[in-house]
A = this chain, B = another copy of it.
């Protein structure tokens, strides 16, 4: 059983047609798993629904606490890409003996051309086979939390 924590990010951005702006509504995770015909046993919980630039220390503490307290030892977290590495660091400092994989998307899933479905398949797979530790899974690759940074110019995660 894999625990999935949803925290928002581009992954789950949607288009508010009355205001004509990006917004957060419910998570698309269940729909994505259905579309991907996933048969991985998962338990999904939405912890927050925020742009990762707006994520506070209190938000990160909440994520760390949930990772530590949940029964599952394999965890996938959907997260905005801008501060994904920062949250990974907080989890690494507070959680032991679990495989935690953070993932996200550059394009909202609600837009047809999303990398989210690809990344979700990738993150769930890495979570099943990587040894305990905190990882970032993006672009089909995985990085230990302290060996990666996001290049803000190109939008790409790069190995340090």
Contact = CB atoms under 8 A, between A and B. Distances in A.
Interface of A: 10, 15, 17-18, 20-22, 32-33, 35-40, 51, 80, 82, 106-108, 110-115, 117-126, 128-130, 137, 139-142, 152-156
A15 B111 contact: yes
B18 A10 contact: no
Contact of A118 (B38, B82, B155, B156): B38
Contact of A121 (B10, B18, B106, B125): B125
A117 to B, nearest CB: 5
Instruction: Please give the count of copies of this chain that the complex contains.
Output: 4
A122 B119 contact: no
Contacts of A82: 20
Contact of A139 (B38, B111, B152): B38
Contacts of A137: 125
A140 B128 CA distance: 10
A25 B152 CA distance: 20
Nearest to A40: B140
17 contacts: A15-B107, A17-B155, A20-B80, A35-B113, A35-B118, A36-B119, A37-B118, A39-B140, A40-B139, A117-B121, A120-B121, A121-B121, A124-B140, A128-B141, A128-B142, A129-B130, A129-B142
Contact of A17 (B18, B80, B106): B106
Residue of A39, A125, A156 with highest tally of chain B CB at under 10 A: A125
